[in-house]
Amino acid sequence: MFEILRREELAGGTIILNEISAPFIAKKAKPGQFVILRATENGERIPLTMAETDPEKGTITIIYQVVGKSTALFKTLKVGDRYLDVVGPLGKPTEIEKVDGHVVCVGGGTGVAVLHPITRALKEIGNHVVAVIGARTKDMIILEDKMKEASHELFVCTDDGSYGHHGFVTDVLKDLIEKRDVRLVVTIGPVPMMKVACEITRPHKIKTIVSLNPIMVDGTGMCGCCRVNVGGETKFACVDGPEFDGHLVDFDELSARLKSYVEQEKIAYEKFKCECHA
């Protein structure tokens, strides 16, 4: 179990795709759900969303950005290697609803990987779906073809203007809201991006779904580590989410909690880099 059957490097090797054998999970998983993985006995439990699943083949696909020790360790795994533990599917599936106007799916960075199955499902149910994806620069754009296929229209943005629209995904969102009858927005990406997107849709009272990524341990509602403030209520993202009504989320608190371990993360990553070079 948990053998890596396919591995791809995206965005110049900063983002990695793994297709993993996990038959039980593949059979159950729905868009929006995630798994928790561990690669080694002394490893940390790392939550990653399933970007794709194949119930017949019994595989799930994860796409992750290398940001620290654990994801760097995952990057070293080759085809034929195994993850030690993969548990899931965790979290609530996305509620795929049919709305009367346009749906805009806004993704940044690896958030696009999480957004892709949701975008596809929203289209399949009969919505007119506009997708907006972005990254810092051209080489960092991922899944452009897949997002094109999953939506009716695709806008691509880069912060530096090296490709597509010069600017942020949220600029395009603003524009779309002014010109079209947008009824639903799904936005997944870095916390500041989701926060801005919610500020843009709030005055128009457009329902806006975000997918949150707080630090997690068990992923089953047992520890409370993943708690987030949604409309003044404490919710556990691993069981009550990870998707929430973005207009109710306290993003500042989420940002602060994501920084809980910055010092240790630095130590772990530095140690890992030393060991790898040695």
Ligand X SMILES: Cc1cc2nc3c(=O)[nH]c(=O)nc-3n(C[C@H](O)[C@H](O)[C@H](O)COP(=O)(O)OP(=O)(O)OC[C@H]3O[C@@H](n4cnc5c(N)ncnc54)[C@H](O)[C@@H]3O)c2cc1C
DSSP string, the chain: --BEEEEEEEGGGTEEEEEEE-HHHHHH--TT-EEEEE-STTPPPEEEEEEEEETTTTEEEEEEE--SHHHHHHHT--TT-B-SEEEEEESPPP-----SSEEEEEEETTHHHHHHHHHHHHHHTT-EEEEEEEESSGGG---HHHHHHHSSEEEEEETTSSSSEES-HHHHHHHHHHHS-EEEEEEESSHHHHHHHHHHHGGGT-EEEEE-----SSSSSSS-TTEEEETTEEEEHHHH-SEEEGGGB-HHHHHHHHTTTHHHHHHHHHHHHHHHH-
Token output for 28: 């159950």
CA distance 254 to 213: 9
Is residue 142 within the footprint of ligand X (CB under 6 A)? no
Q: What x-and-dash track marks residues 226-245 binding ligand FES by CB under 6 A?
A: x---------x-x-------
Is residue 222 within the footprint of ligand FES (CB under 6 A)? yes
Is residue 224 within the footprint of ligand FES (CB under 6 A)? yes
Of 54-62, 79-87, 124-132, 183-191, which part binds other proteins (CB under 8 A)?
79-87
CA distance 94 to 263: 34
CA distance 202 to 211: 17
Nearest approach, Cβ of residue 62 and ligand X (Å):
6
Is residue 192 within the footprint of other proteins (CB under 8 A)? no
Nearest approach, Cβ of residue 252 and ligand X (Å):
14
Is residue 210 within the footprint of ligand FES (CB under 6 A)? no
- Residue 37 near residue 48, CB atoms below 8 Å: yes
Looking at the Cβ atoms of 99 and 268, the one nearer to other proteins is 268
Binding residue for ligand FES, selected from 225, 248, 258, 268, defined by CB under 6 A: 225
Is residue 48 within the footprint of ligand X (CB under 6 A)? yes
Binding residue for ligand X, selected from 59, 71, 94, 151, defined by CB under 6 A: 71
Of 8-16, 42-50, 101-109, 150-158, which part binds other proteins (CB under 8 A)?
42-50
Binding residue for ligand FES, selected from 149, 199, 218, 250, defined by CB under 6 A: 218
Query: What is the footprint of ligand FES within residues 93-112 (CB under 6 A)?
Result: none
Looking at the Cβ atoms of 155 and 269, the one nearer to ligand X is 269
Interaction site with ligand X (CB under 6 A): 34, 44, 46-49, 63-65, 67-71, 110, 113-114, 213-216, 242, 258, 262, 265, 269
Q: What residue ranges bind other proteins (CB under 8 A)?
A: 24-25, 28, 38, 42-45, 69-70, 84-90, 217-218, 220-225, 227-229, 234, 239, 252-253, 256-257, 259-261, 264-265, 267-268, 271
